Structure 1
Amino acid sequence: MSGLDAAVTAVVRAARPHATAVTVALADGSRAEVRCFGRVGQGPSAPPCTPDTVFELGSVSKTFTALLFANLAARGELALDDPLDGRLPRNWHTAQVRSAEPIRLLHLATHTSGLPRLPPGLLATAAPTWFSNPYETYRDEQLRDGLARTTVRGRPGSRFRYSNYGAGLLGRALAETGGLPYGELLTERVCGPLGLRDTTCSPDQPGRATGYRRGQALPPWSIPGLPGAGGVRSSGADLLRYLRAHLDRGRDLHRGRDPDRERDPGQERDPGQERDPARERAELAVALREVQRPRLRLRHSGDELCLIWNRRRSGERDLCFHSGGTRGFTAFAGFSPDGSAAVAILANTAPALDGRFVQAGYELLRTAAGVTRT
C-alpha cells in the first residue's frame, strides 16, 4: 500500500463508527481524484456516496467568505480596511458595536476584531436545539439587536480571537455591499465562475447526505443570520475544483492575462465603468491570490493567518488549511501552494472531541504535498 493510500485509509477509519458516508478529494501534482465510501444514510436502501454527494462544511464556509471578500475588493466595491459600521444595512443605525476604535472588515477576516466567539443572545435562543440546530432561529433581527449589545474590550487588530460572530458579520456586510443575499452573491461571484455546481447555502440541496450525531439522524443545518460563518455545503468534486483554483492562483481564469499587472484589490472602481467577463475573471484571479497572502503571525506558534486560511510551514512545504463541523458533519480542506497538492475530506458525522478525523485529513495533506517526516 502506498503512503497516499494508507493516509486515505486512515481518514476513513477516523470517521467510524458513526459516519455512513466519507468523501476524500485529492490532487497530487497532475493527478486529481475523488474517492467515495459508504452510503448517504443508514440502511442498505440509501444511495451510495458519490463525488457529487453534498455535505455541510461548517467553518470551511469561512474560506468561501474570504474569497468573496477578496473578490469584492478586487472589483473596487469595498476596501479590505473599510470600517464594519459603514457596510451594514442603513436601517441598522442603532446596531453599532461599542468599541474604542473602528472594527474593520480585515479584522473580521483575520479574527482580530475583538468580538466574542458567539453573538450575544445566541445561547438563550439556541438552548432547545443546542445539539441539533442551534443557529436555526438566529436571524437578521437577532443579529441587529445583538450588535447593539456588543462591547469590544481591547483594540481591534491587536489580538487573535477566533469568532464565528465576526466571520458571520463579514458575510452580512458583503451581502449588503453586493446587494444580494449571501448565498446568491456567493453563487454569482464565486461558485458560478469557478464552475461549482453543487456548492450552495440551501439546506434542501438535492443529493445531500444525512448528518448524524452519535448515530442519530439530524435535520439539515440552518444558519440564516450568519451564513458566512458556516452555511455553505458542497461536494467532493466541487471542493476539489475549488482548491485547485487556489493552487492555480486563477491562471486558468485569466486566459492569457498577466495576473501581476492587475489592479490592486483596494483600489476604487469608477461606478460608471462597464463590466466585462474577461475583467471579472481577472479580478477573481486576484482574489484567489489575496486570500493566500499571510496577514499576521499567531503568538506562541509558527502559524500565520491569511484571509481566514491558516498557513503553516511543515517541513519544506507551506500548507494552507481550515476545518469545520456542524452538528452532523465534519470537514477539512487544505492545499500546498508550493507542493501542488490539495485535499478535502468530508464525513456525515459530528466532529469527534479528539479531532482524529481532521488530524487524519491534515496528515493526508502532508503526504500528498510530499512533506518529509522528521
Structure 2
Amino acid sequence: YTVLLLAALAAEGVLREDDSLAAHLPPGPRLRHAASRRITLRHLATHTSGLPRIPRALIPGALLRPYTSGYARYDTDRLLSAFAATRPPHPAGRRWIYSNFGAALLGAALARAAGAAYPALLGDRVLRPLGLTGTTLRPGPPDADAAGHRADGRTPLPATDMGAFAAAGAVRATPHDMLGFLEAHLDPSGTPLSEALKTVQIPQLHRGGRHGETHTLTWFQHPAPGGPLLFHAGATFGQQAFLGFHPASGTGLAAAATRRSRACRLVPAAYDLLHALAGEAVR
C-alpha cells in the first residue's frame, strides 16, 4: 500500500522515485553518515537502502517481550533520531535487506512531500480512489476486528499499535477489500490509479542467481505458467496475511490467519494454491 502511494504521488508529479530520502524527511537531527544521504525513495521501496530490518533500540525489547509491540513507543521524532544515528551496514543499492525501518521512513517522507499525515494521505490517494471502504489504519471495535493469537492459537493478543511504523504494517482490511486491492492490480486500466498500479508491477532487480527472486517496486515476482506470479506476505504479532496475483490468467488470492508461528503454514499453502490455480487457468 505504501509503495503504491509512492507510485501514485510520482504519477502526480509530487515527487520522483529516485529523489533523495533526506530531501523529503521532516526536520530532524543531522544525518551523521554519508551513506544515509545517498538513500533514495526507490531504495526504500525495493528494500535496497542498506538499512537494517528495525532500529537497534527496538531489538532488546523484541527479545524480552516478543508479543508486545515496541513500535507503539516510536513516534516520528524518535524514528528520525534513529535514522540519523544509524550507519547503514551496506551502501544503498548494493544488497537486498527487508526493512520495516525503511518502510517507516518512506511513509514519513511521503507525508512530508504531500503535506498530509500518512493515514489521511493513504486514504485520499489510494484507498478511496480504489473503493476500499473496508480498509483502515486504526483498530476497529473489538467485535469487528479479527483477534490475533500467540503461536498456540488460543491466547489472544491486543491489536498492534505501529506508531511511526504505520507505513510498514498498520493496514487493516476486510477480505473483500483485500481481493479488491488485487483486482485493481489485475485490471489497472479500470481504476483512477492506472499508471501507479502498472508502475509497481515493473521488475526492478533480481537477486540470488538463476534460481533467485525478481522484485518489482513492491511485489516478489516468480515464474509461473503463462507469465509471472506476483505476491507479498506479512505478519504482525498475532496475524499473518498473503496477497498474490497472476496477471496472465486474471487470478488473485488473499489469505489470512489469526495466529503467527513457524508451525502455521498459511504463506506456503497460499502460494502453492495460487500457483496451482494459475496453472489450471492457463491450461
Same-fold call, TM > 0.5?
A: yes
Match of 1:252 in 2: 190
Root-mean-square deviation over aligned CA pairs: 2.0
- Residues 139-154 of structure 1 mapped to structure 2, 5 A cutoff: 139-154=75-90
Q: Tell me, what secondary structure is at the counterpart of 1:304?
A: strand
- Measured in 1, the distance between the counterparts of 2:161 and 2:139 equals 7
- Residues 221-300 of structure 1 mapped to structure 2, 5 A cutoff: 221-249=160-188, 251-253=189-191, 281=192, 284-300=193-209
- Residues 69-80 of structure 1 mapped to structure 2, 5 A cutoff: 69-80=6-17
Give % identity: 39
**Partners of 1:107 and 1:113 within 8 A in 2:** yes
Offset of 1:128 from its aligned partner? 5.7
Amino acid at match of 2:167: G
Offset of 1:371 from its aligned partner? 5.5
Q: Does 1:218 align with 2:128?
A: no
**Partners of 2:20 and 2:37 within 8 A in 1:** no
**Partners of 1:97 and 1:147 within 8 A in 2:** no
Offset of 1:355 from its aligned partner? 5.5
Match of 2:125 in 1: 189
Q: Tell me, what secondary structure is at the counterpart of 2:222?
A: strand
Match of 2:139 in 1: 203
Give the number of equivalent residue pairs.
278
- Measured in 2, the distance between the counterparts of 1:330 and 1:108 equals 22
Offset of 1:169 from its aligned partner? 1.0
Computing the radius of gyration from Cα coordinates, the structure with the larger value is 1
- Residues 100-139 of structure 1 mapped to structure 2, 5 A cutoff: 102-126=38-62, 129-139=65-75
Tell me which of the two structures has the higher relative contact order, counting C-alpha pairs closer than 8 angstroms and 6 or more residues apart.
1
Structure 1: gaps spanning 5 or more residues: 1-63, 254-280
Q: Tell me, what secondary structure is at the counterpart of 1:111?
A: coil
**Partners of 1:125 and 1:137 within 8 A in 2:** no
- Residues 1-374 of structure 1 mapped to structure 2, 5 A cutoff: 64-89=1-26, 91-95=27-31, 97-99=33-35, 102-126=38-62, 129-204=65-140, 207-213=144-150, 214=152, 215-249=154-188, 251-253=189-191, 281=192, 284-300=193-209, 301-350=211-260, 352-354=261-263, 356-370=265-279
What TM-score do the two structures reach when normalised by structure 2?
Answer: 0.92
**Partners of 2:29 and 2:84 within 8 A in 1:** no
1:83-114 Cα shifts (integer Å, max 9, x gaps): 0000100x214256541761000000111110
Q: Give the ranges of 4+ consecutive aligned residues of structure 1 lying more than 3 Å apart after TM superposition.
A: 95-98, 124-129
Relative to structure 1, is the Cα distance of residues 100 and 74 closer, same or farther in structure 2, using a 3 angstrom cutoff? Answer: closer
Offset of 1:317 from its aligned partner? 3.0
**Partners of 1:223 and 1:230 within 8 A in 2:** yes
1:93-150 Cα shifts (integer Å, max 9, x gaps): 4256541761000000111110011113112455564313232212212212211211
